[in-house]
Amino acid sequence: MKVRIRLFGALRDADANGYIELQVPEHCTIAELRELLRDHLRTHAPHISAGLVQRSAFASDDEILHNHRTLPENGQLAILPPVSGG
């Protein structure tokens, strides 16, 4: 399936479109998606540190999706680097 990952904060530097699309296996977990995204960035955005992806969380519009969760059916996700509001 194809997933679209919206980018925020420092991760916006990974793609000027504001999102990254990846082809991933059905029933992929968030932990697996994290590895696939890291591989993608290593090739397409080598200036983004792997550590930043490691410290980031994935989310749907409604909630944070931890590593054991599977992808939402609509394939729409966001990756949230460490937060700094206020």
Partner 1 sequence: MSDIYTAVVDIRETQLDPVAALDFVSDPRFGGIDMFIGKVREHNLGRLVTGISYDLFEPLALRTFEAIGERARREIGAPMKLYIAHAKGDLSLGEIAVIVAVGTPHRDEAFRACRLAIEAVKHEAPIWKQEHYVDGDSAWSEGCSLCEEHREAERAAPHGTKAHAHGHEH
Residues that bind partner 1 (CB under 8 A): 6, 8-10, 12, 54-57, 59-64, 66-67, 78, 80-86
Nearer of residues 50 and 64 to partner 1, judged by Cβ: 64
Distance CA 62, CA 55 (A): 20
Backbone angles phi, psi at 7, to 5 degrees: -110, 145
Residue 2 CB, nearest distance to partner 1 (Å)?
Answer: 21
Residue 58 CB, nearest distance to partner 1 (Å)?
Answer: 8
| DSSP calls for 31-81 | HHHHHHHHHHHHHH-TTS-HHHHHH-EEE-SS-EE-TTPBPPTT-EEEEEP
Nearer of residues 23 and 84 to partner 1, judged by Cβ: 84
Nearer of residues 15 and 23 to partner 1, judged by Cβ: 15
